[in-house]
Chain A
């Protein structure tokens, strides 16, 4: 089964946003109404939304005492053990791995609109169609349909510099490690997505620490589903244990009363 991934290398990114437009074009998402800019530099729109599944962030940072401009890319991280999948009561979200493709995809027809996935996702990715009378969740699909046709995801295809590459997760991790090892003074020594949330299929490397790109960095290095899992797995034990305890205590109380004559009415 394929475990496919995207590698985002912000050192190679020129902030051109070919990826952002390619994503909109492929997925036929409409443009949002924007005004001026929503971040330092040219960022638009402000955040991911029901219509914006790929967002390039503009960040003015300092590297070695010098002013620099660095670009990030926000999108669904396609976790190996997704919290959204775990939280969804009806399995509308699913992690799929086929012979040649993998992604965390969404089945519209099953969705309740409960939005538990939005609460569960540590990266705050899934978005909801609040202004629709028949609202659904939307997010990046890692162009699963294109993958199945042997094509690259739209963002990877559009990227002129190879800042976005697509391939087997293990190979991309090796490549990321190689780039960091070959240019240790350029890269920040961390692969974002390697272990965050238990490992994701969108991996990022950069020349600055990731909080400077507007990424969330307080993500535990284990699948978030494990927290719920532990609690969920405990429930039968707890229920059984409670039943035993309560049953025993009832028996105990009953036994002390056994010697007494039945009470007369009245």
Chain B
């Protein structure tokens, strides 16, 4: 999230689109309820009426997979009716940038398309900014130039008129117009809107572009950087935010650095590729500090072995040869290319798309290690119904894991708040923390590699200095202190680094994750209430330290100046970066540093003191304009993580285009009315002959969650009280579809089939689903909660037996949310 949970209280309009927040993030409803008490309007846009809709003020239905059309229409509405924050757009976005003439968009394709790759790709150099003599993007401050981003944006979204949008999404035109009107009312500087989204947005072949539409709209309305605004992803698993921060994904290193690819032989090659450059003196281009973070990371990994002479052990890092994301891994596993798998708290047999294929893929492994709280469906894949264990050669290990309350450590919420938790109870038997399992593995590997092997150095020289106890548990405080980082040499040797601004590229600092620099500091660097005694005062490597993540000082509203009680709570735990609670907050003020919205201000410039007040400013540089209106050369533009310094309405760095464009999901009931490109032109399609078509599979299907169950159900389907509430897998459908299927009644068994598999489930017939009028005819949609599997106290068919093995063009996140199926009443014998 750019903002955080409590901040929702500050909003005027909350759009919940691509999320069922009240269902799956119940605590979001706490803050939204408080907002409602203050008059906030809640909008729910969803394929069906959910528990969030019950909570909302307005509801608009939309067919799964049509978010770009839906939100594109709101963008068009804002542009056509001039409901935009012009000054914000002019100064804080790249609306004014002029694009080179090679950029074009025609019939669903951007210029630079090369259809021959697998997948096809774009040459994004065709989407370049026009640069002036100094190499700085040329800007037209009037935003009238035909090739300036603003005009290109208007032209692109002019095709997203209300009628077209409603005929694609199936939304009711009157309701849709109301939604457009209410949400775009936040364009005014004194009004703000927040956008909450989750898997309903991301789990599509155009998921990234779905988010881009929200970004564009929020920027046009001037909602980013303000209290009650922002782009707010409601993260799923706990602790997915922590996981992605620490880079449990193939394409990143901790702190969202990039995994080096084959071909980047030296550290300098790598840094040259990934350190962005900007010739604009007013752009902070914060990622120019990339080398400091990368070198500090390498020092954390290999300690004293990493020196300038050996490229800080850069050669020890594995280099990736292509897309090795989840789906790719299972495709490779299915082809017999992967020998072993560690599965920590994950249940691919239930959670993976095209689950039949993934279950079969597991049988090709030589060994599988599952680390989990309960025996999971994955850990017993080899003896599920319909397979002969005698034919499966996989050796399966099940290691008992500690639950989150049985170990100490931090969990990061969607608001980037890293909240330290103490250990509340002992775990059962021999259960270990994930950290201990990995530690024992690493120490065993180190010992084995001492005796030789292929390239032992990266393992043997790995720094693992965590005071490991006899069970293999590392001192988690030493781990936390290391990812904060400390000085490796010089007069401050051993001292914790107080902020990532102090990290260096010369090897004098180490930091396991530059974003967390500042979370675990030397006591001497502390200030304010954190100097008081409490559980946050700790000792690491003989030094008195402050674990800021363990701080629990709530804000006292009485002690705050007017307009400042916006729930920042700066001394409650610690958030990245540098405890800045609302990021891009320098866009919340005008060019003089005065808040656009004084009654809910995040930061403001105190001219006398010569510094910012309020939240940690997104860069301490002075405001962009001097009091007389002239440009202050000491300033920096507000979006410091972009080389442009401004936010991108036009985003040239994405795989599928600088502007979002509506494409149908891979499996769709209609042909794309926006262009002749049916689905995202640059996605990887592994099995093009296995795409479901509407003649065989006429019903749109989606998958989702219920409040009572958690992900692949390994914990909740083994908890009797939760099983009591929701014991069986079910399919929600409209009464009209139920009638068309030959009179299906609520509770009857139905069979749902897709190109990939079939499931048996109970029909839940409800008016919460209605058919969609799209492409001139009625199309039905059903929804299936995906929590069930064959193992556990409560069992049932997995919805993922139906979902396709295809993912987003940028992230490869599977398209769980929109595919085709056929529904039949089960005939009773």
For B728, what are the chain A residues with a Cβ–Cβ distance below 8 Å? Answer: 35-36
Contact residues of A between 14 and 51, Cβ < 8 Å to B: 14-18, 20-21, 24-25, 30-37, 40-42, 44-45
Nearest-neighbor residue (CB-CB) of A70 within chain B: B54
A160 contacts the other chain (CB 8 A): yes
Shortest A88–chain B CB gap in Å is: 30
Shortest A67–chain B CB gap in Å is: 5
Shortest B48–chain A CB gap in Å is: 11
Shortest A23–chain B CB gap in Å is: 10
Q: B29–A160 contact, CB under 8 A?
A: yes
With A14-B52, A162-B30 known as contacts, the answer to whether A42 contacts B726 (CB < 8 A) is yes
Q: How far is the CA of A67 from the CA of B723 in the complex (A)?
A: 28
Q: A14–B766 contact, CB under 8 A?
A: no
Q: How far is the CA of A252 from the CA of B71 in the complex (A)?
A: 98
With A31-B721, A35-B728 known as contacts, the answer to whether A18 contacts B54 (CB < 8 A) is no
1/0 per position for A1-12, CB-CB distance to B under 8 A?
Answer: 000000000001
Q: A162–B54 contact, CB under 8 A?
A: no
The 4 lowest CB-CB distance pairs between A and B, nearest first, are A31-B720, A31-B724, A14-B22, A161-B33
Shortest A76–chain B CB gap in Å is: 19
For A21, what are the chain B residues with a Cβ–Cβ distance below 8 Å? Answer: 721-722, 725
B241 contacts the other chain (CB 8 A): no
Q: B725–A36 contact, CB under 8 A?
A: no
Q: 22 A-B residue contacts at CB 8 Å?
A: A12-B33, A14-B22, A14-B29, A14-B52, A16-B26, A17-B707, A20-B725, A21-B721, A24-B721, A31-B720, A34-B724, A34-B725, A36-B728, A42-B725, A67-B49, A67-B767, A67-B768, A68-B54, A71-B54, A160-B27, A160-B29, A161-B55
Q: How far is the CA of A42 from the CA of B29 in the complex (A)?
A: 19
Shortest B58–chain A CB gap in Å is: 10
A60 contacts the other chain (CB 8 A): yes
Partner of B724, one of A25, A32, A60: A32
1/0 per position for B38-69, CB-CB distance to A under 8 A?
Answer: 00000000000101111100000000000000
5 new A-B contacts at CB < 8 Å, known A17-B725, A36-B762, A37-B747: A15-B51, A20-B725, A24-B721, A33-B724, A41-B766
A240 contacts the other chain (CB 8 A): no
Q: B708–A17 contact, CB under 8 A?
A: yes
Q: How far is the CA of A256 from the CA of B560 in the complex (A)?
A: 99
Q: B723–A14 contact, CB under 8 A?
A: no
Q: How far is the CA of A124 from the CA of B142 in the complex (A)?
A: 72
Q: How far is the CA of A18 from the CA of B708 in the complex (A)?
A: 9
Q: B55–A14 contact, CB under 8 A?
A: yes
For B30, what are the chain A residues with a Cβ–Cβ distance below 8 Å? Answer: 160-162
Shortest A180–chain B CB gap in Å is: 14
Q: A42–B53 contact, CB under 8 A?
A: no
Nearest-neighbor residue (CB-CB) of B728 within chain A: A36
User: Interface residue count for A (Cβ, 8 Å)?
Assistant: 32
B589 contacts the other chain (CB 8 A): no
With A21-B722, A162-B30 known as contacts, the answer to whether A69 contacts B727 (CB < 8 A) is no
B23 contacts the other chain (CB 8 A): yes
For B707, what are the chain A residues with a Cβ–Cβ distance below 8 Å? Answer: 14-17
Shortest B237–chain A CB gap in Å is: 18
For B55, what are the chain A residues with a Cβ–Cβ distance below 8 Å? Answer: 14, 161
For A36, what are the chain B residues with a Cβ–Cβ distance below 8 Å? Answer: 727-728, 730, 747, 762, 764
Shortest B585–chain A CB gap in Å is: 28
Of residues A16, A24, A71, A161, which shows the largest number of chain B Cβ atoms within 10 Å of its Cβ?
Answer: A161
Q: How far is the CA of A14 from the CA of B766 in the complex (A)?
A: 18
Nearest-neighbor residue (CB-CB) of A207 within chain B: B54
For B720, what are the chain A residues with a Cβ–Cβ distance below 8 Å? Answer: 30-31
User: Interface residue count for B (Cβ, 8 Å)?
Assistant: 33
Partner of B766, one of A15, A17, A33, A60: A60
Shortest A25–chain B CB gap in Å is: 7
Q: B51–A14 contact, CB under 8 A?
A: yes
Nearest-neighbor residue (CB-CB) of B720 within chain A: A31
B706 contacts the other chain (CB 8 A): yes
Q: How far is the CA of A67 from the CA of B192 in the complex (A)?
A: 29
Q: How far is the CA of A18 from the CA of B27 in the complex (A)?
A: 11
Nearest-neighbor residue (CB-CB) of B52 within chain A: A14
With A67-B49, A160-B26, A160-B27 known as contacts, the answer to whether A15 contacts B54 (CB < 8 A) is yes
Q: How far is the CA of A160 from the CA of B55 in the complex (A)?
A: 13
Q: B51–A16 contact, CB under 8 A?
A: yes
Shortest A168–chain B CB gap in Å is: 21
Nearest-neighbor residue (CB-CB) of A12 within chain B: B33
Nearest-neighbor residue (CB-CB) of A51 within chain B: B724
For A44, what are the chain B residues with a Cβ–Cβ distance below 8 Å? Answer: 724-727
Partner of B23, one of A12, A14, A31: A14
Shortest A212–chain B CB gap in Å is: 14
Q: B727–A34 contact, CB under 8 A?
A: yes
Q: B26–A18 contact, CB under 8 A?
A: yes
Contact residues of A between 54 and 78, Cβ < 8 Å to B: 60, 67-71
Q: How far is the CA of A221 from the CA of B175 in the complex (A)?
A: 43
For B726, what are the chain A residues with a Cβ–Cβ distance below 8 Å? Answer: 37, 42, 44
1/0 per position for B8-39, CB-CB distance to A under 8 A?
Answer: 00000000000000110011011001000000
Q: B724–A40 contact, CB under 8 A?
A: no
With A31-B720, A35-B728 known as contacts, the answer to whether A69 contacts B768 (CB < 8 A) is yes
Q: B727–A16 contact, CB under 8 A?
A: no
For A31, what are the chain B residues with a Cβ–Cβ distance below 8 Å? Answer: 720-721, 723-724
Q: B764–A37 contact, CB under 8 A?
A: yes
Shortest B29–chain A CB gap in Å is: 5
For B747, what are the chain A residues with a Cβ–Cβ distance below 8 Å? Answer: 36-37
Q: How far is the CA of A15 from the CA of B708 in the complex (A)?
A: 10
